[in-house]
Amino acid sequence: MRRWLTVLILVAAPIAGWGWGEREQGLWRLLQPPRFRTLQGTLQVSVFSERMGDRVWTISLCADERRSRTQLMLPHPEGARQIITITTPEGMWVFLPFAKRAIRQAGMNFPSWRDLWGFRSDKLDLAQRNYDLRFVGRDKVADLPCLVVELVPKFKENPKRRLWIHPPTRLPLRLERYDPDGKLRVRISFTEVQIDRPLPLLIFDTNPPPDWQQVEVSVQRQSIHVSEAPQVLGFALLLPTWVPPGYVLDGIFALQDRRFKVAHIVYTDGISVISLFEHPAPKEPYEPRPFRPEMRERRPPRSDMGLPPPLRMFPQQWLRRDIAGIRIVLVGETSKEWLERIADSLTSQVASGR
């Protein structure tokens, strides 16, 4: 504990003595990717939603610099269900003990436990043009000292984030995300954490029990140029003529396996991300069923069923529209008005024949 306190003083004292410009640059350095050899602990994830109801679940985490193992219990009408995910450079395994099934996914970059924090750490130069980073104070999370900072967007339609950062490792130990209207939507916090301690033996073992069913799923994700889409995906892409201020095109990717081909177009302002998914529209028009309160205990509303599970677990704005035979799905943490304006620019582009 004394060692951590010494490090905190060494980090915080210079910050207090800097001028504002130096201080702000020092704070931004805290948002660089965290550094640690091993990490293990327990996270509590709290999601606040008027439509879906408030939800809280716990995640057990073990990680080193290249691998991670998460274990969580999700509520289910027939009893809580355990899900274990192991990610390595070779692939991702999902273990479902309640179904005696192990699913191995290969062929693409995999989601990481680091994605839980919901902000980019690889485009801080861009982020500094779109956010102010403010020092709030000092605090402790899981008995470790933290500096508390706020990412305040310069455009109010983006969410605000408050982070509790452990200076020696740059690890966010707690994050709160607020909607553009100021409502707290997500809180993620370590309740227990051990850094650079030996991990349990065989914690990343991916061999399932012999009586389990093993399923292999291969999803290819490749970066493409917009001109390559007709050949790779079989359809031409629609690119918006308007994107929110501060956002830039971050990449165009083709997602495909034996069953589907989907374009994933990514825009970022350095912290937040807006995803635009495109694929040929089904022949039958999409008609969302109305949400009824009694459905809350049984399943998500029908209009959410087409989204990946992580997008149903965390509150995000999303919009679906069929345009010129292409179904688009926009997903982001920004205001719904921004997503509608992006979709309107696609509709106008098709109508004008551009």
pLDDT at residue 116, rounded to an integer? 61
pLDDT tens-place string over residues 182-237: 899 999 999 999 999 999 999 999 999 999 999 988 778 889 999 999 999 999 99
Report whether pLDDT(173) > 90: yes
pLDDT tens-place string over residues 293-313: 444 433 333 334 344 444 445
pLDDT at residue 8, rounded to an integer? 40
Identical fold at 2-195 and 219-352?
no
Banded pLDDT at 54 (limits 50, 70, 90): confident
Ramachandran category for residue 6: left, alpha or beta (phi over 0 → left; psi -120 to 50 → alpha) = alpha
Banded pLDDT at 3 (limits 50, 70, 90): very low
One of 1.10.3720.10, 3.40.50.1000, 2.50.20.10, 3.40.50.300 is the CATH number of 2-195, namely 2.50.20.10
- In angstroms, the CA 139 to CA 164 distance is 8
Q: Tell me if 304 sits within 8 A of 312, measured CB to CB.
A: yes
pLDDT at residue 224, rounded to an integer? 94
- In angstroms, the CA 55 to CA 43 distance is 14
With H, G, I as helix, E, B as strand and everything else as coil, classify residue 70: strand
pLDDT at residue 114, rounded to an integer? 63
What average pLDDT score do residues 99-127 get?
A: 75
pLDDT at residue 61, rounded to an integer? 94
What is the topology classification, in CATH, of domain 219-352? Phosphorylase Kinase; domain 1 (3.30.200)
Highest mean pLDDT pick, 63-67, 80-84, 119-123, 227-231: 227-231
Q: Tell me if 120 sits within 8 A of 101, measured CB to CB.
A: no
Nearest to 318 by CA among 46, 242, 221, 310: 310
Tell me the pTM: 0.81
pLDDT at residue 304, rounded to an integer? 40
- In angstroms, the CA 323 to CA 344 distance is 10
Q: What is the signed CA dihedral for 339, 341, 342, 345, rounded to 10 degrees? A: 160
pLDDT tens-place string over residues 8-31: 433 444 444 444 455 667 789 998
What average pLDDT score do residues 231-253 get?
A: 95
Domain boundaries along the sequence of the chain:
2-195, 219-352
Report whether pLDDT(285) > 60: no
Report whether pLDDT(340) > 50: yes
DSSP designation for 314? S
pLDDT at residue 46, rounded to an integer? 92
What average pLDDT score do residues 234-263 get?
A: 92
Report whether pLDDT(1) > 70: no
With H, G, I as helix, E, B as strand and everything else as coil, classify residue 77: coil
Banded pLDDT at 287 (limits 50, 70, 90): low
pLDDT at residue 160, rounded to an integer? 94
- List CB contacts of 6: < 8 A, sequence separation 6 or more: none
